[in-house]
Structure 1
Amino acid sequence: MTTPASLAAMHQAASLKKQVIEALRTAILEGRFQPGDRLVEREICEMFQVSRTLLREALSQLAAEGILQIIPHRGPIVAIYTAEDARSIYELRATLEEMAGRCFAERATEAEHKALESAFAAFRKASRGKPGSDLLLVKTAFYAALTAGAHNPMLEDMLRMIHWRVTMLRAHTLSQPGRLAKSLGEIGDIMEAIARRDPEAAGQACRRHVMNAAAIADAVLTAKEAERDRPVRKRGTKEPSARDEVAAAPPAGEPRLARM
């Protein structure tokens, strides 16, 4: 029989799991863990004072999002995306977002146009600072507004399926010199086409924006693959622990997670 006490315990466990997921996700997206870095379950359990069962549920969620990979006999590592992976993801993303731009220009309400304008304004404001999780979040909010105004639930579901994979790649591209300014200009083109209610121009602007990002991701990941083929650590050096990385300073505006 379910009791109030058991319901409270279930709620507390769900809340704690969400905290662990968000803390690890933020640390990875901000680059405090690098692709291929191993997460030591014991260290994370001790840090958050959670059971191994709860932690593994959190890690499974991050693996489903494409942020982690679970390697047999090794455990969870930060997902490694190859240039080939990126090409596949961006090819799909270009098609989906082109459709989102077209549909938004055709179907969005006045309220949805205003919501998109507000999201773009927030992105412009965030772009004045250093690239990081805050910038990724506001750009995610822009695309959420775009897909909501497209009024195509299946399209929205498909974009949601690749959301965190795209965000992982976006962390690589937006940090490249000059890319953020170009990204703002490209999204400005999308906004202008949408303001004219021009589906063809809006769709093409969305595709162009994605393919420009794809070209940068391809170059960055190809270079990283070449670098990974060379030894990167001297004998006797120690890898940073999960405790060190997750306990680093929290993103601006977010409180440090308390031990529970």
Structure 2
Amino acid sequence: MSAEPAKKSLRDRAYEELRDRIVDLRLSPGQRLVERDLATELAISRIPLREALQMLEREGLVVIVPRQGAIVAPFTAADVRDLFDVRESLEVLAARLAAERAEPTDLAALRDQLDAARQATAAGDQAAIAAANAGFHARIVEVSGNPLLQSLLRPLESRVRWLFHLTKERDPGTQCAEHEALYAAIAAGDPDAAAEIAYRHVASGREPSLALSAQWSMPDIDPVSATRTRQRTSQRDKTA
């Protein structure tokens, strides 16, 4: 009876570790994910590892080619555009609802995210800046109190975090200021102002993000070809 929870724990551990590596770019778009290597590194069997990869595939972070393997999803300029299209609609709604429904504890949680972003910006910690800013957006979705909206945006949360890392060259001070304005509108209980600020904030990042995407866009990668050849030298090859 205890085997299933242990198995799930291994899956979740692998999922969270690989998700974080993809999101903060330790695993690059297009990079091949070799099951044997990852299973050894994470000290788990291939079954929970494959389950974790399937979860990441559902979030759009991994591409799995049946009977060949998996790669980190190649994130293209078109993906960035599509992500902004969705964010400009759903995150604006989340901000409006958050302004209508936020409780003091919700505002305190949002304030904590802003403070973390400010501290990370002052320290020049790019990874912490990206995590705090993405966390602020995710917290607004939680505060919205709309389970359907949360279920629609939850699969995009990792991709939004990924976007913040990929576009870390954008001015973090500007992002902090825009988040402060959004927080103020939510704290004031002004849904119209919160929606307007949220839209301007998301929309203002579109063109800079699309421009930065040219540096790492991989529109021509073929997952079948990328998973066909192992991107490493086996021990047998080394000793031959």
Could you say which TM-score interval applies, normalised by the shorter chain?
A: 0.7 to 0.9
2:213 to 214, 221, 224: 221
Match runs of 1:83-98 below 5 Å = 83-98=77-92
Q: Check conservation: 2:102, 2:186, Cα contact below 8 A.
A: no
Q: Residue 225 of structure 1: CA displacement?
A: 3.5
Q: Residue 226 of structure 1: CA displacement?
A: 7.8
Q: TM-score, normalised by structure 1?
A: 0.77
Give the corresponding residue for 2:38: 44
Q: Residue 61 of structure 1: CA displacement?
A: 1.0
Letter in 2 for 1:191: Y
2:174 to 167, 182, 207: 182
Secondary structure, counterpart of 2:26 in structure 1:
coil
Q: Partners in 2 of 1:47 and 1:110 — Cα distance?
A: 43
Q: Does structure 1 residue 156 correspond to structure 2 residue 150? A: yes
Q: Residue 92 of structure 1: CA displacement?
A: 0.8
1:21 to 11, 15, 25: 15
Q: Partners in 2 of 1:79 and 1:190 — Cα distance?
A: 32
Give the corresponding residue for 1:205: 197
Q: Partners in 2 of 1:226 and 1:64 — Cα distance?
A: 20
Give the corresponding residue for 2:141: 147
Q: Partners in 2 of 1:113 and 1:197 — Cα distance?
A: 11
Secondary structure, counterpart of 1:162 in structure 2:
helix
Q: Partners in 2 of 1:89 and 1:135 — Cα distance?
A: 20
Letter in 1 for 2:101: R
Letter in 2 for 1:131: Q
Letter in 1 for 2:195: G
Q: Residue 58 of structure 1: CA displacement?
A: 1.1
Q: Check conservation: 2:114, 2:136, Cα contact below 8 A.
A: yes
Structure 1: unaligned runs, 5 residues or longer: 1-5, 230-237, 242-260
Q: TM-score, normalised by structure 2?
A: 0.83
Q: Residue 219 of structure 1: CA displacement?
A: 0.9
Identity of aligned residues (%): 32
Letter in 2 for 1:88: D
Q: Partners in 2 of 1:91 and 1:64 — Cα distance?
A: 19
1:78 to 48, 66, 72: 72
Q: Residue 224 of structure 1: CA displacement?
A: 3.0
1:60 to 54, 60, 63: 54
Q: Does structure 1 residue 131 correspond to structure 2 residue 126? A: yes
Structure 2: unaligned runs, 5 residues or longer: 222-229, 234-240
Higher deviation after alignment, 113-122 or 62-71: 113-122
Higher deviation after alignment, 185-194 or 217-226: 217-226
Q: Residue 73 of structure 1: CA displacement?
A: 5.3
Change beyond 3 A, Cα 1:95–1:19: same
Secondary structure, counterpart of 2:48 in structure 1:
helix
Q: Residue 75 of structure 1: CA displacement?
A: 1.4
Letter in 2 for 1:187: H
Q: Residue 163 of structure 1: CA displacement?
A: 1.3
Q: Partners in 1 of 2:131 and 2:218 — Cα distance?
A: 30
Letter in 2 for 1:30: D
Give the corresponding residue for 1:194: 186
Could you give the per-residue CA deviations for residues 160-188 of structure 1, whole angstroms, max 9, x where no partner exists? 13211222222111x21x42111111111
Aligned length: 224
Secondary structure, counterpart of 1:127 in structure 2:
helix
RMSD (CA atoms):
2.4
